[in-house]
Amino acid sequence: GLINALHVCDFVSERNSEWNFAPSVREYLLRQLSERPELFREAHGRLLQVSRSPGLRDEFSEVPRYLLEGPGEAYHASALNPSEGLLKYTALALSGHRGQQWLGARLAHEQQEFGILPPQSLEVDFLEGMVYYREGNIKEAEPLLRRVSEVLANRIEVAIALHIIGRIDGRRSRTRQAETELQRSITILRTLGDAFGEAQVLHTLGQLVGRERSRSAEAEELLRRSLTIEQSRPGGFGEAQVLHTLGQLVGRKRSRSAEAEELLRRSLTIGDLQGNVHHQAQVLHTLGQLVGRKRSRSAEA
């Protein structure tokens, strides 16, 4: 009877094959709940248990999708213990699917408005910034991630934000600023023991430094450090990407054309083994340009 009444009164609407409270109804109910601390903790505690326990879900005929994925745990954990919940939101930003991250960002923002989470939060800024960044919305992502990058803490969120902001500044020819940001990202990642994260930033830094021909040797050293780390990761695609960049850099010197070709062919082989057609096309283009320098190899190029 209660469920039917909710439908008759238009308190709920269907979205993504699930029934959801209308925004105005949801806001009213949340405010009512916040005025009853015992019920607030009991409701969030019970839903947090459901999000964490597959066994409990058997008690219900249907369980909302958000409880089966990361957003539910982060949301209800934040209501009971904001410090724990914020870490869950960061985990969602790092490993969740795009739809989960989008919902998590909305829920986190709602909790900020209700005073459950602090109005300024590194974790929420990072989650929202990453959602915008993965959507390709740099205009909205940049101020959020730049704010995270300015936090003086050895946190993975700060390291990733510095990497992204460094890439953005590098594209805008703010070379020295970008270099400082990328170096700081590497320092944090080393402190955290994140070798593969360090390899990715070394690759970006090598590309940035390599724009200046006078710094080619420095760029090569950065790329080779990145390559050494990537080669220790079985099946990792990062090795192929670094080999491609290194081949382009080495190939600038005609005297090292054979070495550059060998690097590019290794990159091509990895791309082929992994079925990455886009990468193969990019490397074949670079390889064709390299081989084409010799008139005797024009047909091959």
Name the pTM for this structure.
0.92
pLDDT for the residue 16: 76
Q: Is the pLDDT of residue 141 over 80?
A: yes
CB 96 within 8 A of CB 69: yes
Q: Take residue 103 and report the two structure tokens written for it.
A: 């919902």
> What's residue 228's pLDDT?
97
Q: Please tell me the predicted confidence (pLDDT) of residue 13.
A: 82
Contact 22, 13 (CB under 8 A): yes
**DSSP string spanning 144-186?**
HHHHHHT--S--HHHHHHHHHHHHHHHHTT-HHHHHHHHHHHH
Q: Which residue has the higher pLDDT, 160 or 15?
A: 160
Q: Mean pLDDT throughout 124-128?
A: 98
- Return the pLDDT at 63: 85
**pLDDT classification of 221: cutoffs 50, 70, 90:** very high
pLDDT at residue 223, rounded to an integer: 98
Mean pLDDT of 277-294: 97
Is 244 within 8 Å of 234 (Cβ atoms)?
Answer: no
Phi, psi of 171 (to 5 degrees): -70, -25
Q: Residue 105: what residue type?
A: A
Q: Is 235 left (phi over 0), alpha (psi -120 to 50) or beta?
A: left
Q: What is the mean pLDDT of the chain?
A: 94
Per-residue pLDDT band for 12 (boundaries 50, 70, 90) equals: confident
Distance of CA 231 to the CA centre of its chain: 22
Average pLDDT rounded to a whole number, residues 98-118: 95
Smallest CA-to-CA distance from 107 within 26, 182, 14, 208 is with 26
The pLDDT of residue 243 is 98
**Contacts of 26 by beta carbon, 8 Å cutoff, 6+ apart:** 20
Cα distances from 75 to residues 112, 218, 226, in angstroms, run 11, 46, 37
Q: Residue 66 corresponds to which amino acid?
A: Y
pLDDT digits (tens, 9 = 90+) for 58-104: 777 788 889 988 999 999 999 999 999 999 999 999 997 999 999 99
Residue 11 has pLDDT above 90, yes or no: no
Using a pLDDT cut of 70, give the percent of the chain over it: 99
Residue 207 or residue 3, greater confidence: 207
List Cβ neighbours of 295 (8 Å cut-off, separation of 6 or more).
none
pLDDT per residue as tens digits for the range 246-285: 999 999 999 999 999 999 999 999 999 999 999 999 999 9
Q: Bigger pLDDT: 300 or 59?
A: 300
With beta carbons less than 8 A apart as the criterion, state whether 85 and 122 touch: no
Asked if pLDDT for residue 236 goes beyond 80, the answer is no
Handedness of CA 151, 156, 159, 165 (dihedral sign): negative
